[in-house]
Amino acid sequence: MTLRIKFNLVMLAAFLVGLALAAVFFNKFSERTARKAILSEAALMMGQANATIHYTDTQISPLLAKQMAVQFVPQAIPFFAAQQTFDHLAKDFPDYTLRQPTLNPTNPSDRPLAWEADIIQALIAEPTLTSLVTERDTEAGKILSYSRPVKVDSQECLTCHSTPEAAPPSMIDVYGRNNGFGWKLGSIVGAEVVSVPERVALTQARQSLYVIMTSLAIVFAVMLALLNLMLHMFIIRPVRRVSALADEVSLGNMAVPEFDTSGTDEIGSLSRSFNRMRRSLTAALRLLEE
């Protein structure tokens, strides 16, 4: 095996091991970064929905209180307002959703799907949890859901969610008497669930991984080419020259010129040693001849 092959094999092995380690490391790192970005996106959307709920509760509902007695205006309901504003947003971002699944909902469209029911049960089972992050696989890829419990935290909620008799008649006219009642003060009745597709952020993460890996491979290829060139110029070529001259001398051809000893490196000192040996040999031969 030539020096060049040995050298290249070792370099290639070192590079492949390094590249594999770098791929594992960068993959973990970029996935973690992407997940953080997805989570903060979901938390931001949840914050936005809660801001709408708060705004409607404190500023719109009081204004519509009188109107409510005559005719039911869902616009005064904080959760209705949050859903409406979000649904508007979803026209531009169809993969993002806000849902308010509730075990016994006023609006039948808030009935929980199987995976939402699991979230509600998990939040009920662990009442100290303020939020829950879950993931599920869909045809469109992984979806991350950020959920918060909906707790009946004030007596006011019970006006509309305890018994049909306590609720405004105008509300009963719209929603009927069968759904959304019997809620208890202090209990968790459902969840607010913001869902964000992971596909976009994960695809971006994978793309940056490819860019990093390709850059590493290019840097390595350039370095390997340079090292090969240096190996050829500084080691292989001079050694071949020394070896060819030494061959000639060993075959008795003393007319060949001396080695070039101008170099200050190891090859230079090897050439000087050869030259010295050759001179000694010539002197010894001459002595013998005499």
Task: Please report, as ranges, the residues that interact with ligand HEC according to CB under 6 A.
Answer: 74, 77, 79-80, 83, 100, 102, 105-107, 110, 150, 152, 154, 156-157, 159-161, 171, 175, 180, 190
Q: Which residue has the tokens 């931001």?
A: 44
What gap in Å lies between CA 160 and CA 65, rounded to an integer? Answer: 13
| Least CB distance to ligand HEC at residue 214 (A) | 49
Q: Which residues have CB under 8 Å from 189's CB, separation 6+? A: 102, 103, 104, 150, 151, 152, 161, 183
C-alpha–C-alpha distance, residues 107 and 222, integer Å:
65
- Least Cβ distance, residue 142 to ligand HEC (angstroms): 26
Q: Left, alpha or beta for 176 (phi > 0: left; psi -120 to 50: alpha)?
A: left
* 28 residue type, one letter: K
CB of 115 to ligand HEC, least distance (A): 17
> Measured from the CB of residue 100, what is the shortest distance to ligand HEC in angstroms?
4
Min. distance of Cβ 173 from ligand HEC in angstroms? 11
Query: For ligand HEC, which is the closer residue by CB, 46 or 171?
Result: 171
For ligand HEC, give the closer residue by CB, 33 or 107: 107
Min separation Cβ 87 and ligand HEC, Å: 11
Measured CA to CA in angstroms, residue 96 lies from 193, 196, 263 at distances of: 11, 5, 70
Nearer to ligand HEC, 190 or 197 (CB): 190
Report CA-CA distances (Å) from 184 to 99, 153, 156, 189, 209.
21, 9, 12, 8, 51
CA 98/CA 116 separation, integer angstroms: 12
Distance CA 92, CA 209 (A): 29
Q: Smaller CB distance to ligand HEC: residue 180 or 238?
A: 180
Distances (CA, A) of 111 to 102, 108, 232: 6, 5, 75
Alpha carbons 246 and 188: distance in angstroms, whole number: 93
By beta-carbon proximity to ligand HEC, the closer residue of 74 and 268 is 74
Task: Report the nearest approach of ligand HEC to the CB of residue 22 (Å).
Answer: 48
Q: Which is nearer to ligand HEC, 103 or 205 (CB)?
A: 103
Q: Which is nearer to ligand HEC, 143 or 160 (CB)?
A: 160
Q: Closest distance between ligand HEC and the C-beta of residue 38, in Å?
A: 25
Cβ closest to ligand HEC, residue 105 vs residue 238:
105
Give CA–CA dist 208/204, Å, rounded: 6
